[in-house]
Each structure stands twice: as C-alpha cells, then as structure tokens.
Amino acid sequence: MTVAGRAGTSGATGWRRLLRRGTGGAGGTGGGRRRGTVLAGLGVVTAGLLALHRFVPNTPGRLGSLVESFLFWLGPFTALLLVCAALRRARTALLVLLVPTVAWAVAFGPSLLPAPSPGPRELTVVQHNVADDNADPAGTARALADGGADLIALQELVDPALDTYRRTLAPRYPYHSVQGTVGLWSRHPLTGARALDIRPQGITEPWRRALRAEVRSPYGTVAAYVVHLPSVRLGPGGLASARRDESAALLGGILAADPSDRIVLAGDLNGTVDDRGLAPLTSRLVAPERGLALSYPAALPLARIDQVLARGAHVPAVRALPATGSDHLPVLVRVSLHGPTRP
C-alpha cells in the first residue's frame, strides 16, 4: 500500500470516528450511555420550537416569524432524526424524538386528513397570484375558469394582460371588479366594490392592492376581500417583513370595523397562517382545516402564502391546483357559510 493510500484510509477512519462521536455512537466516549446525545438534543430543540414558537423573540431579524414560516418542515426534519436514531440504535434519542413527533402531529396532522364531504351552503374560491410577468395569461385564465369556483381572486394584474383576463373569464364569470392590481371575478352579482388603503408608510407611488365587494350569493350576502400584502425578503439581516406586517395591521383594523356577519378574504399574504406577522388577520378569521396546498414557489413549493380566510364560516378544505404561467400555484378553497339565508 502506498503512503497516499494509507493516509486516505486513516482520514476515512477519522471521519467515521468523528461521526460516531457526534451521534453518540458506541465508539464515542461513554459508550452506550452517550449514544444519540446529539440526536436527542436536536429532538429537544425541535420539540421546543414546535410547542413554544410563540416565545421565540422576533428581534433581531424577525426571527420568530422566520421560524413560524417553516414550522411544517420540522416534521420531515424530525423524521430524518428518527431514521438516524434507528440506524444508530440510540434508544434514548428515539424516546426523546417521540415528543416533537407528537407535537408536529397535533399541529399539522389534522391538515393531512381527508377533506369532509361538501356541505349544503358552500362557496368555492380560487386564489391565485398570476404574476405580472406571466407569459400565458389566457391559458392561466382558462385553467382557473375550468375549476368551476364561485369566486376567483387574482393579484398582480397589469396591462396588457388584464384585458386578457377580463375577456377570457367573462363568459363564466360575468361579474368582476378590479382595483389597482387586484381583482375579483364572480358567478354571482357584486355590489359596492371599492379599493382599500393598506399602503405602508414610505410608499409614495400609486399602490392599490386591496379591494372589498359584496357578493350576492345563493346563501346570502358575503363581504369579499382580495388583497396582496407587501413582499418579504430573507437576507443577512433576517426576514424583512416590516412593511407586510404594517399592511396586515391596517387590514386587520378594517376587518375589525366591518359589520358584516360573513367575510371571505383571499389573497397573497406573503406569509403562512402560523406567522405572527399575520396575527391581525388570523386572530379575526379562520383558516382551512384540511389540506396542505403549498403554493410558493411553484417549481418547488415550500410554503402556502396564498390564503383564503373567513369569518362567519368555517373553511373545510384547501388544495393546490396545477401550475400555470405564474411563480405561484393557485389554490382552491371550500368555504362553508354560517347563518340564515338572506338576500
């Protein structure tokens, strides 16, 4: 054997020893008593994040919001830790990892259950950020119309694609309102459509990204909101979401003052329903009960930031629809209305 060969073998052996020590293997100091120490420690941290994420401080860098945006992925991470613990025969780590497994199942398990059968007073809503650079607005509009929803809420509507959406959706959705870059198409009559001011401070250019209209549905009047909250960015300073949070707070104040018994809000909220930055909305409206429907980015969805929330109703299910020419996936949501039927 050459010197180089012996050195390579020695290096590989060193890495194996380091791996055994890092995972608490039998080859580490303390033998079986230390087996899985690192895995168990990671399990404790994961369980803590799942159960106590509200106590993670939001400064610096909106750390709490960042953790909450990706809480779902702590489940697959825990599964990976369980596999590692099983391979290492780390019984203590396996027991500890049951804690984050149960915590994740409680938080996200119901969303993975089959959706209930449709109820007698349901509206279906499609929510989609169509992307201002969508190369196929006609194909996108046809795909959304083929879903047969009662309402279609769209964001990033810009010329000249806006005329294409209007023309393509009109045969099936005769009622619509567009305010700035957001729009609502409906199979049922719309009244009182108007723009809402949720512009954060510091934005001086024209910025209309929210509307409210009343839908005269077969089950009574519903106040429908379509919104597009400011984007967030992840950088060296953390999660840049201050403008989104400010806009959400403004919208939350509008919702608090709305006397309507039944409200449906659809929009690109640029955040998950677990994100504390959206608390002004999620504290007043209910989210879908079943379905995962990760919607962004379309090529490899990591989170559902396209939301449909409701008041005076419950939201039995959400599901993602096939990709369009957008960087978001559309989502289709069932909304079951409460209260007596009234015109």
Write the pLDDT tens digit of every residue in 192-231: 999 999 999 989 888 999 999 999 999 999 999 999 999 9
Give the phi and the psi of residue 2 in degrees, each rounded to 5: -80, 165
Residue 1: burial class (beta carbons within 10 Å; 0-12, 13-18, 19+): exposed
- How far is Cα 230 from Cα 59, in angstroms, rounded to an integer? 20
Residue 145 banded pLDDT, cuts 50, 70, 90: very high
Write the pLDDT tens digit of every residue in 38-90: 999 999 999 999 999 999 998 888 999 999 999 999 999 999 999 999 999 99
**Residue 177: per-residue pLDDT:** 98
Residue 119 banded pLDDT, cuts 50, 70, 90: confident
pLDDT at 5 exceeding the cut of 50: no
pLDDT at 20 exceeding the cut of 90: no
Radius of gyration of the chain from Cα atoms? 24
